[in-house]
Structure 1
Amino acid sequence: MIRGSALSLMLAAALCASAPAGRSASAAEGIPTEVLRVCADGNLLPFSNDRQEGFENRIAKLIADELNVPLAFTWWPQTIGFVRNTLRTRQCDLVMGTAVGEELMQNTNPYYRSTYALVYRRDSGITARTLADPSLQGARIGVVARTPPSAVMLRHGLTNLEPYQLDTDTRAHHPAQQAVEDVAAARTDAAIVWGPIAGFFAARQSVPLAVVPLKDEPGASPFQYMISMGIRPDEPDWRHWLNDFIVRRQGDIDRILGEYHVPLANADGSIRATSAKAEVSEPDGYRMADYRAPTPPTLRGAETVGPEEVERLAKAGAVLVDVLPTPPKPEGLAPGSRWVPPPHRSLPGAHWLPNVGYGAPSADQEAYFRNSLEALTAGDRKRPLVVFCQPDCWMSWNAAKRAVALGYQAVKWYPAGTDGWTAAGRELVTVEPEPKVAN
């Protein structure tokens, strides 16, 4: 769990060594049917507290509501021994936040990706957007010891550090929060802390603070981490249910994260704006421009699905339709040179129909889409179609909507696309565009 002032990826090996083995699958409790018991820290905002004011408290409430069971918390400081004394002893059934790949627990699919962030006063004269910015040279910068930014800072000659202790009892100390408050009070010039902590506490200060989410740097410790929920390793049905919940309620989860000013990163490392604004509404027609932008969480006439449901549908004979457009030919090629597009990687068994997701496709593109679907389904309008491209891709939304308009009765829209597939630990394969089918 990345908490800045609590557990860190740096402690994963020590934690794993101290954790006892889980019970056998035969002892699995599975999906909660009487009460949802969540393991949480009672004093660790913005994540959780015993007044249930954190974003993890609120997301847990969404889960309990869908299960139609009461919500209860087992409180324990998130430091060494947290998992051993809560989840492993079956005092509770779910940890709301853990870094993907941490071996103490079985991970669900990630439900957000965040990053470390640089915080400074807007009136300080610092204008940095990266750690290489000259305005940071000589600045007194707060950092929690042994977290990833501490090593990266040295690469950029940032040696005037104000260290904060990593391993603390959260009932009394909050080093990352203190680092942000020290910036606001001008005791330090800047700080680099885990993004959810940076965004939440920066918004609470009386002076304006800049919060700059950081991108990963080649060859350096990563700043960005995918965050999942954690359960015991012998509960596959519970994991499956939670993964489906994440897909169904991702829009609600994102809105909650926005209210807490959590900086979010896309799978490609780019930073996306997060706010508490209302979710994107479905337009009456097709999206006509800006195709790589946040999409609605739903599509009338189609069902929104996640990677596990896509895998199940594929095994049952659904047609997987990838509508990512072909990459444009680079400008500035030498005359007479031959350009070979990079190979396209997609879901196993997918059929690539490029350039069919535009809001106003050409007559040829529309015929290509219509005839290809007819051939791939053998004319069966009831055969399930799974339409996708990448996250925040209106091309897939448009194409799925167009399939509904063509009379297909089992259209599934997979908004997470290929990025969501790999984030769930699944492999991609190289595919070629489907050949045109004669009318």
Structure 2
Amino acid sequence: MIRRPVLLLAAALCVAAGSSARAAEGIPTDALRVCADANLLPFSNDRGEGFENRIAQLIANDLKVPLTFTWWPQTIGFVRNTLRTRQCDLVMGTAVGEELMQNTNPYYRSTYALIYRKDSGITAKSLADPSLQGARIGVVARTPPSSVMLRHGLTNMEPYQLDTDTRVHHPAQQAVEDVAAARTDAAVVWGPIAAYFADRQTVPMVVVPLTDEPGATPFEYMISMGLRPDEPDWRHWLNEFIVRRQGDIDRILADYHVPLVNADGTIRAAAAQPPAARSETMEPDGYRMDGYRAPVPATLRGAETVVPAEVERLAKAGAVLIDVLPTPPKPAGLSADSRWVPPPHLSLPGAHWLPNVGYGALSADQEAYFRTNLEALTGGDRKRPLVVFCQPDCWMSWNAAKRAVAWGYQAVNWFPAGTEGWKAAGHDLVTVDPEPRAAN
């Protein structure tokens, strides 16, 4: 029986083919249909909370097509029953060299990781560390760490089953939870799983990404997307996408604390956000209608999601910066005849403030104000880049950017970090006034 790296690494997403139209060999033009495991975090689940869900959304946004999912357990027969039967066109999360599929260029390189409780007395930074001798160490059977552990005399293993039905059992996750509960002393599992679930335990955990040892079975694997061998155009498009959106992919991986390995084998410094800052919110079909200050999705269909450095580049290239933060309400308790002067509004240099246009439903006056100003600020050029923002966790900027896309603007950029993210990146804010309303 073939033990595919895609199973060993427990990661798979597929873009379904079915009756999908094609602009070229394999490239979807009507929908990005993704085959994925409905219960396999941190990779994917049916609530869109995995990093492969989010990377798939990036691809769909780039193709400007909707994203849908077909769920299939990630176990033996996954490729045979999905990609080979043309129910899907793409597997995301396969090790480079997978023989059942053609690979794209790799989009990340990760490694297995050692995990243990911070209070365990273990201080290991590799499997050769003496503090591991005699420790009860969990490992998924027949995965690469098993042979390396034996090489270092680590024979007190707690084995976990490799091939399971992920609808009911998650051995690598269980290995992490057993360490947290002190049922075992340590575990060695695939790094993305180790980091994700260690971060969710109630006790402090240590995660040590492992580097390859000379003459031993490797810990590190380059991860690519897999597709059928007869679709060179689709592979070319995906390779170009990976190059162009590598920064966005890396930011998603960092959100999940995925251990990343550089080409020279060194471990890349972690750059993940704290857990409270992560966004696992999926895009709604329509506009957000209430609760505007809440976690936002990582993406916006039809628009690019940008960070401060990209905003700076776009601004220098002539993009129109649109601040949609609403005007502050009059403080409660002031009498009707009290004069109130709102505080100055700070925004990005050169930004145009269009307050109150980010609500889920706009009045006729608000819509006319937004449309008229967009038309004037772009000179009627629907291809001129826009950067839409307000503050972090602000659905109003998401709504406003989505509305601009719906109105036919073709280069909409959404800046979810907003003014606070701009300031945190070391840039100055300036006072701006609202754009005037047209005279009646």
> Per the shorter chain, which TM-score range?
0.5 to 0.7
Task: Give the Cα separation in 1 of the matches to 2:176 and 2:252.
Answer: 22
C-alpha deviation, 1:2, in angstroms: 10
C-alpha deviation, 1:231, in angstroms: 1.0
Is residue 39–residue 96 contact of structure 1 (8 Å, CA) maintained in 2?
no
C-alpha deviation, 1:274, in angstroms: 2.6
Query: Which residue of the other structure, out of 240, 246, 267, is the alignment partner of 1:244?
Result: 240
Change (3 A) 1:9 1:218: same
C-alpha deviation, 1:9, in angstroms: 7.3
Amino acid at match of 1:183: V
Query: Are 1:223 and 2:219 counterparts?
Result: yes
Task: Give the Cα separation in 1 of the matches to 2:253 and 2:4.
Answer: 15
CA distances 1:216-244 after superposition (whole Å, capped 9, x unpaired): 00000000000001111111111111111
CA distances 1:295-347 after superposition (whole Å, capped 9, x unpaired): xx99x89xxxxxxxxxxxxxxxxxxxxxxxxxxxxxxxxxxxxxxxxxxxxxx
Query: Which residue of the other structure, out of 104, 118, 131, is the alignment partner of 2:127?
Result: 131
Task: Give the Cα separation in 2 of the matches to 1:273 and 1:194.
Answer: 18
Is residue 36–residue 93 contact of structure 1 (8 Å, CA) maintained in 2?
no
State how 1:18-417 maps to structure 2 within 5 Å.
29-276=25-272, 281=309
Over the aligned positions, Cα root-mean-square deviation in angstroms equals: 2.8
Task: Give the Cα separation in 2 of the matches to 1:3 and 1:185.
Answer: 31
- Other-structure match for 2:345: none
Change (3 A) 1:173 1:283: closer
Task: Give the Cα separation in 2 of the matches to 1:149 and 1:71.
Answer: 36
CA distances 1:136-179 after superposition (whole Å, capped 9, x unpaired): 00000000000000000011010110000011011111000000
The 3-state SS of whatever aligns with 2:115 is strand
C-alpha deviation, 1:276, in angstroms: 2.9
Amino acid at match of 1:181: E
Change (3 A) 1:48 1:9: closer
Amino acid at match of 1:126: I
Change (3 A) 1:211 1:279: farther
- Other-structure match for 1:432: none
Task: Give the Cα separation in 2 of the matches to 1:231 and 1:177.
Answer: 28
**Moved >4 Å (runs of 4+):** 1-4, 277-280
Task: Give the Cα separation in 2 of the matches to 1:58 and 1:120.
Answer: 29
Is residue 255–residue 279 contact of structure 1 (8 Å, CA) maintained in 2?
no
CA distances 1:175-204 after superposition (whole Å, capped 9, x unpaired): 000000000000000000000000000000
C-alpha deviation, 1:281, in angstroms: 3.8
- Other-structure match for 2:8: 8
The 3-state SS of whatever aligns with 2:265 is coil
Task: Give the Cα separation in 2 of the matches to 1:107 and 1:51.
Answer: 27
Change (3 A) 1:185 1:243: same
Is residue 9–residue 94 contact of structure 2 (8 Å, CA) maintained in 1?
no
Amino acid at match of 1:136: L
C-alpha deviation, 1:283, in angstroms: 13
CA distances 1:19-78 after superposition (whole Å, capped 9, x unpaired): xxxxxxx9x842100111122111100000111110000000000001000111121111
Matched pairs, number: 273
Is residue 116–residue 122 contact of structure 2 (8 Å, CA) maintained in 1?
yes
Task: Give the Cα separation in 2 of the matches to 1:205 and 1:221.
Answer: 30
Amino acid at match of 2:8: S
Structure 1 residue runs without a partner (length 5+): 11-25, 285-296, 302-439
The range that moved more, 183-192 or 274-283, is 274-283
CA distances 1:76-126 after superposition (whole Å, capped 9, x unpaired): 111110001011111111111100001111111000000000000000000
Change (3 A) 1:69 1:113: same
